[in-house]
Amino acid sequence: MRYVDEFRQAHLARGLAGAIAREADPERQYRLMEFCGGHTHAIFRHGIQDLMPENVHFLHGPGCPVCVLPMGRVDHAIQLVERHDVILCTYGDMLRVPGRGRGTLLKIKAEGGDVRMVYSTLDALRIARDNPRREVVFFAIGFETTAPATAVALSQARAEGLENFSVFCNHVLTPAAMRGLLASSSGPVSIDGFLGPAHVSAIIGSRPYEFVAREFRRPVVIAGFEPLDIMQSVFMLVRQLNAGRHEVENEYTRVVTREGNAKAQALVSEVFGVRHAFEWRGLGQVPRSALRIKEGYGAHDAERRFTVFSRGNPPDARGCECPSILRGVKKPTDCKLFGRGCSPDHPIGACMVSSEGACAAYWRYRRFRRPSVVAESPAVL
């Protein structure tokens, strides 16, 4: 596969692993947070941690839009189906995310709710055109990467006068979340540097992260999602840290520029404004961290169009360490609930919800004791 295989070559990985090992100072620890779920997934899927020296640690950030969506929002989506009888269109990995009372869209669908998995906002528009007598709501979720596609759908719906189409907007913003993390008042933050978002940065560019270097004195390296991208970026971060530098560097130059995609940015700001604050699972209320649909598109805003009963967001479960895991202070295996009640089949905390969450990735890809399996001898770690 072209443009993929080139970035997965084992011999280059060995060379980079050697370079990182030589560069890393054995006297210090390197705690590097990959912000994006895509990076977390790649790190585990390719076994990149095994190629790192012992003092280089990956901390798995809140960059999985499914994981950080508060339960109350899932409840709203469920209500749209149950009370307002809408056709709810959603991306696949939203289906399994539990709201309060463990209800999921998959369960609602099983009980007869009209929930449809789509791959593109254009599919949702088509469903709206094909069902003129039904209300069709697109459950919009994702970072800056998916927001332009939602913006296109909204402007197309308005242009066509597609009155039965609306969007339940849950788009969230990456730089604001990074600020939320670093300025966290709920405890210490133990992050030495960031592997910066890949696809998000293709849209917004590398400039929006410059405050991380300037105000918080942490280096950021924008990193592609392929394993060699990640290793090269780790090398760049280690070098910055050793030199005492904190700059925004770009490893993913084949896709990302400093200014980003101006056309996509213009589309997004035409349709969306920024919410005063938005709640993130694990992080709490984060100021100016999410998008809302502007007045001019209000007719297609599901939050204006339908009344939903809000009970707020339930607090994270007792004993759940997601907030500390997301700040890089704890590992999934430090959590008492991990594997004891909290698993990908029955997620309790945010990080277990999607395969991109730190806990789910640990569960799926790293070796540890699973209580459900009969044990005779301790597993070799």
* Position 49 contacts other proteins (CB under 8 A): yes
- Token representation of residue 40: 């977390």
Instruction: Using the minimum distance from each CB to other proteins, give the nearer residue, 46 or 330.
Output: 46
Site stretch for other proteins (CB under 8 A), options 53-61, 277-285, 316-324, 365-373: 365-373
Sign of CA dihedral 82, 83, 85, 88: negative
Binding part of the chain for other proteins, among 88-96, 152-160, 233-241, 297-305 by CB under 8 A, reads 88-96
Tokens linked to 208: 């929006």
Binders of other proteins in range 2-31 (CB under 8 A): 4, 8, 10, 13-14, 17
Out of 32, 36, 151, 248, the only residue in the binding site for other proteins (CB under 8 A) is 36
Residues 184 to 243 in contact with other proteins, rule: CB under 8 A: 199-200, 227
Strand partners, 342: 338
Minimum distance between the CB of residue 367 and other proteins, rounded to whole angstroms? 6
Q: Tokens 């399996």 map to which residue?
A: 373
Backbone angles phi, psi at 201, to 5 degrees: -70, -25
> Which of these segments, 89-97, 155-163, 245-253, 298-306, binds other proteins (CB under 8 A)?
89-97
* 96 is a site residue for other proteins (CB under 8 A): yes
Which of 47, 341 has the CB closer to other proteins? 47
Tokens found for residue 180: 């939320």
- Least Å distance between CB 82 and other proteins? 21
What is the closest distance, in whole angstroms, from the C-beta atom of residue 77 to other proteins in the complex?
Answer: 15
Which one, 159 or 373, has the nearer CB to other proteins?
373
Q: Is 369 in the site for other proteins (CB under 8 A)?
A: yes
Q: Which residues, including other chains, have CB under 8 Å from residue 97's CB and lie 6 or more apart?
A: 66, 69, 74, 104, 105, 347, 353, 354
Report if residue 54 touches other proteins, rule: CB under 8 A. no
Nearer to other proteins, 169 or 329 (CB): 169
CA distance 372 to 199: 37
Segment interacting with other proteins (CB under 8 A) among 74-82, 85-93, 151-159, 184-192:
85-93
The smaller minimum CB distance to other proteins, of residues 265 and 354, is found at: 354
Confirm or reject binding of residue 291 to other proteins (CB under 8 A): no
Give the span between the Cα atoms of 345 and 104, in whole angstroms.
12
Is 255 exposed, middle or buried, given 0-12, 13-18 or 19+ CB atoms closer than 10 A? middle
Nearest to 327 by CA among 353, 354, 350, 361: 350
> Phi/psi at 30 (nearest 5 deg)?
-120, 105
363 sits near other proteins (criterion: CB under 8 A) = yes
Rounded distance, CA 183 to CA 259, Å?
25
Query: Burial of 287 by CB count in 10 Å (0-12 exposed, 13-18 middle, 19+ buried)?
Result: middle
Instruction: Note whether 145 and 260 are within 8 A (CB).
Output: no
Which residues of the shown chain bind other proteins in the complex (CB under 8 A)?
1, 4, 8, 10, 13-14, 17, 36-38, 41, 44-51, 65-66, 91-96, 106, 116-119, 123, 141-143, 145-146, 199-200, 227, 344-345, 354-356, 363-367, 369-370, 373-377, 379-380
